[in-house]
Chains A and B, each alone.
Chain A
């Protein structure tokens, strides 16, 4: 990346690039756009809302996540200063604060968003069925798809990796079904050149893959789930419409929630999992009042003024808490046997119908590639680094490039939104 430019006025009133349309990206974009700045919001998937829209409820007040985020998404889509580029990724960045040149590759969706009215008529006829990543592979989608009901923008995209036509076969099923002429196979990927004055990286997180730790039996045993899968199971617009069922089709009578999956491997505490475990317990108890829930944890991390009360409520509702390390999850007849060791060294086993693993939060995929493209450092764990840790959480070593939300480190929604607003604030104040 080049440094310095002759007339670098730090970019007052220049457009801003926001990478990632999760809650951090959305909030930062709105703040910038409402001040009058133009925003390019680049999102690699076809939808906005990131991880938060996958949750049915969010802690500590059990707000309905979609109800909370939908007005923001709608505001985003209606805001004339924000250009949302879905299926897009940043390929190259040159220049410096006030004067960045950004190359963005916008993948074709093969759906004309002007003509498409979001009626979903193209889904049925599509002969291809694949796992739906948004639904944590718990249900299927077609090769032309939107990730879930209510996804915004409500415009489908063709997954060219699985679409028969794009693999060389004759198939026009979706185009034939569309009466609005919204399906356009001639669409091309685009290379966009954007000139922006500042950049915010808000690429969020993904979950640590629990199958890396074999003792938990993830992906080997039935009814061992990762927390994100359970979030989709709880969702009223999810694969089971919010019904909690084990693989046998029956609701579980007993559930074990295991914290800190991957904590040792990653070397940090992911900040939100204790609260997320409490939230799931609360939801389960609400749907299945008789269910027996046991939480296996090492340290209870419920920081801040709002969380302890919720913990106490969940505790009082009859959820058990065992401070222990889980040494093995194995099949025991129809149930799962959770072998654990408490702090005094004693070993014990608990049986449960369902096991929920709460994994560490990791930086989003491709973050290393993005760090290199932007020329900003990452720490060992892959999160983007702040310029002065402890003092400037949203600023990076590159002037004009900011980070916000879980791209910077695992944190809850409140802190994420504050960082998004802080990054926007620093950009708006840049031209001084």
Chain B
């Protein structure tokens, strides 16, 4: 773990469940890592692997994708595609020499403010332990 390292974590949150869950965490005044920057998408199925790769290449130390629990997707099956892409992405990141634990997929429902707090804090801790994204120094973007 590097001293004085403040991770940068990007969270892609789906509008219907996880973003609402994050708002609920706010209403409950839970502590959410300030290192997390949220980007709202309509569905976790919108999260293109290229977006994730771009985030990592631009120096994101961790990327979180959050969506509705399987079966609850507002658009029926978007989160199933997110799940599949995530699985493949993990593998791809490994082959690129990147620790695939920098990518996380979580299901957070609209009523799970507590859970959102747990997931994000745990992830931030994990990323802090892992240190900065090695790509940060390499890329010239």
Contacts and interface: CB of A to CB of B under 8 A. Distances in A.
Contacts of B85: none
A56 B24 CA distance: 15
A121 to B, nearest CB: 11
A149 B111 CA distance: 8
B66 interface: no
A149 B72 CA distance: 20
A64 interface: yes
Given A64-B111, A149-B28, 18 more contacts: A56-B111, A62-B71, A63-B72, A64-B17, A64-B109, A64-B110, A67-B16, A67-B20, A67-B109, A70-B16, A71-B16, A118-B27, A149-B24, A149-B111, A150-B27, A236-B109, A236-B111, A236-B115
Contacts of A235: 111
B41 to A, nearest CB: 16
A150 B109 contact: no
B113 interface: yes
A240 to B, nearest CB: 11
A67 B15 CA distance: 11
B24 A150 contact: yes
A69 to B, nearest CB: 9
A149 B71 contact: no
A118 B26 CA distance: 12
A339 B81 CA distance: 50
Interface in B59-81: 68-69, 71-72, 74
29 contacts: A61-B71, A63-B71, A64-B17, A64-B69, A64-B72, A64-B109, A66-B110, A67-B16, A67-B17, A67-B68, A67-B69, A67-B72, A67-B109, A67-B110, A67-B111, A70-B16, A70-B20, A118-B27, A149-B24, A149-B28, A149-B111, A150-B24, A150-B110, A150-B111, A236-B109, A236-B112, A236-B114, A236-B115, A237-B111
Contacts of B74: 67, 71
Nearest to A66: B111
Nearest to B20: A70
Interface of B: 16-17, 20, 24, 27-28, 68-69, 71-72, 74, 109-115
Contacts of B110: 64, 66-67, 70, 150
A428 to B, nearest CB: 27
Contacts of B72: 63-64, 67-68
A256 to B, nearest CB: 28
Q: Is the interface of A mostly helix, strand, loop or mixed?
A: loop
Contacts of B68: 64, 67
A120 interface: yes
A241 B114 contact: yes
Contacts of B28: 149
A198 B113 CA distance: 40
Interface string A403-416: 00000000000000
Among B24, B74, B110, B111: residue with most chain A CB under 10 A: B111
Contacts of B113: 149, 237
A235 B111 CA distance: 9
A308 B122 CA distance: 39
Among A62, A67, A71, A235: residue with most chain B CB under 10 A: A67
Given A61-B71, A64-B69, A67-B72, A120 B111 contact: no
Contacts of A62: 71
A326 to B, nearest CB: 33
B116 to A, nearest CB: 10
B109 A66 contact: yes
A245 to B, nearest CB: 16
Nearest to B15: A71
Interface in A223-254: 235-237, 241
A414 to B, nearest CB: 16
Given A64-B72, A70-B110, A236-B114, A149 B16 contact: no
Contacts of A56: 111
Nearest to A154: B27
A241 B109 CA distance: 13
Interface in A27-79: 56, 61-64, 66-68, 70-71
A56 B13 CA distance: 21
A118 B113 CA distance: 16
B20 A149 contact: no
A396 to B, nearest CB: 35
B24 A237 contact: yes
Among B16, B112, B115: residue with most chain A CB under 10 A: B112
A56 B111 CA distance: 9
B68 to A, nearest CB: 6
Among A63, A66, A71: residue with most chain B CB under 10 A: A66
B120 to A, nearest CB: 16
Nearest to A119: B27
Contacts of A71: 16, 74
